[in-house]
Amino acid sequence: MTAEELMLLPDNGNRQELVRGVLIEMPPPGKGHGVVSHRFGLAIGNYADANDFGTVGDNHGYKLESNPDTVRAPDLAWFGPGHPAETAEGYPERAPDLVVEIKSPSDTPRMVAERAQMWLDFGSQEVWYGDPERTSVTRYRLGEEPEVLGEDDVLDGGDLLPGFSVPVWQLFRRHR
């Protein structure tokens, strides 16, 4: 299947992605997944808006390779300043600078690590993996060991999002 054919598929309620031309369907995540994804989106989106620094999107497909096509959709994506807004039809043909994925109950540690590495291999600078069960964020960077932050830690934006910081627990719930 091609990216163009994927775009034409009817919405059947499942997340649909392509991996080297093969359609992958995943059931919709549960409510907890959506709440956590939203909280990450608020934190990064508020930072981007307040600082006029990049753009945030969610559940949007990105075409990462062609012939055969790979189209993946992270839970949240951030592009740094200077990248033109993607307004054309179809899937943007580059990986976001920052990808946020929220762990689903069916995700294994191997699946999480492989997906994070895939984003890095295709050009993302960082991948943040939120784990609602453990109230933790694992930060992946190319060529570095993953960094696990627990709920008592603070997630900072480093060089990618200068000045961004949020207590990890706030990414998972409103009150401590």
d(CA 3, CA 20): 10
**Share of residues in the chain with pLDDT > 70 (%):** 97
Q: What was the pLDDT predicted at 13?
A: 83
Note whether residue 160 is domain-resident.
yes
SS3 state at 92: coil
Please enumerate in sequence order all residues whose Cβ is within 8 A of that of 47, keeping only pairs 6 or more positions apart, or say none: 53, 157, 161, 163, 164
Tokens of 137: 């964020």
Read off the pLDDT of residues 46-60 as tens digits, 9 standing for 90 and up. 999 999 999 998 878
Number of structural domains found in the chain:
1
Q: What was the pLDDT predicted at 11?
A: 86
Note whether residue 157 is domain-resident.
yes
Q: Could you tell me the residue range of the domain that residue 106 belongs to?
A: 30-171
Q: What was the pLDDT predicted at 114?
A: 93
Tokens of 80: 């740094």
Note whether residue 95 is domain-resident.
yes
d(CA 164, CA 51): 10
Nearest to 41 by CA among 108, 140, 111, 128: 128
CATH code of the domain containing 62: 3.90.1570.10
d(CA 165, CA 172): 15
Note whether residue 7 is domain-resident.
no
Q: What was the pLDDT predicted at 130?
A: 97
